[in-house]
Amino acid sequence: MLKKEIRGFVSSLSGYVVIFIFLLVTSLFLWVFPGDMNIPDSGYATLDPLFFIAPWVFLFLAPAVTMRMFAEEKRTGTLELLLTRPLTSMQIVWAKYLAAVLLVLLILIPSLVYYLSVYLLGNPPGNIDTGGTWGSYIGLFFLAAIYAAIGLFASSLTENQIIAFLLAVVISFLLYSGFDMLSGLPVFKNAESFILYLGISEHYKSLSRGVIDTADVTYYLGVIALFLVLTKTSLDSRKW
């Protein structure tokens, strides 16, 4: 099943469109559009603008990758057939999730050309915060992996791909920025640190400093596990 999902992605135009959109949007902001995000204009050898933009791009791209994974199976009636195979619900969820994560990795790999470009453009060449950059890449990968888990859960709730996409975008947005907004409210003043800890953004910023903290990794893995269990529960509910 894992091979089936990956083969379906790489053999379809949509897979290449998703990769192209990510590279196009980030390239325009980093190298073309004037402003604070433009690397040559900033005069600094840093990829910080990429790691600011990418979470918002993945907010839409990850749901676009996952929206069809269960919704399409439901619409065509093949999900029931899939559930009758000698596979547990969790095995099905894992196969589709791992495929989604590998696809996210395929989207990220081409962006390494940005790192090489900034590395060579530095004065002297190589004058870039390598630790912070790789920490940011790891954080971005985990962030996209959470988005993928959320997207898979949303896809398991409906047979309409558009609804699955929108639901995943909303949940991902709330997890990424919602807790930051809540922490700024006067009523939560005494619990600001705890509320920030519940959101993705705080852990993403932590990894972006180049320090791989086990607390941040545990948070990411915990949120991913939560949404995979919710997806399994959604699938199992069809048997009730």
Of the pLDDT bands very low, low, confident and very high (cuts 50, 70, 90), residue 122 is confident
Of the pLDDT bands very low, low, confident and very high (cuts 50, 70, 90), residue 97 is very high
Q: How many residues can be counted in the chain?
A: 240
pLDDT digits (tens, 9 = 90+) for 4-44: 666 666 656 677 788 888 889 999 888 888 878 888 877 77
Output 91 or 145, whichever has higher pLDDT.
Answer: 145
Tokens at 228, concatenated: 């995979």
- Give the other-Cβ count within 10 Å of 7's Cβ: 11
CA–CA gap between residue 204 and residue 223 (Å, rounded): 13
Of the pLDDT bands very low, low, confident and very high (cuts 50, 70, 90), residue 2 is low
Instruction: Report the pLDDT value the prediction gives residue 238, as an integer from 0 to 100.
Output: 62
Domains: count for the chain: 1
Half-sphere exposure of 53 (CA within 13 A, CB side): 20
CA–CA gap between residue 50 and residue 23 (Å, rounded): 11
CA–CA gap between residue 31 and residue 33 (Å, rounded): 6
Backbone angles phi, psi at 26, to 5 degrees: -65, -40
Task: Give the three-class secondary structure for 122.
Answer: coil
What is the domain extent for residue 113? Answer: 2-239
Q: How far apart are the first and last CA of the chain?
A: 24
CB 88 within 8 A of CB 239: no
Read off the pLDDT of each residue in 161-182 and give the average, rounded to a whole number: 92
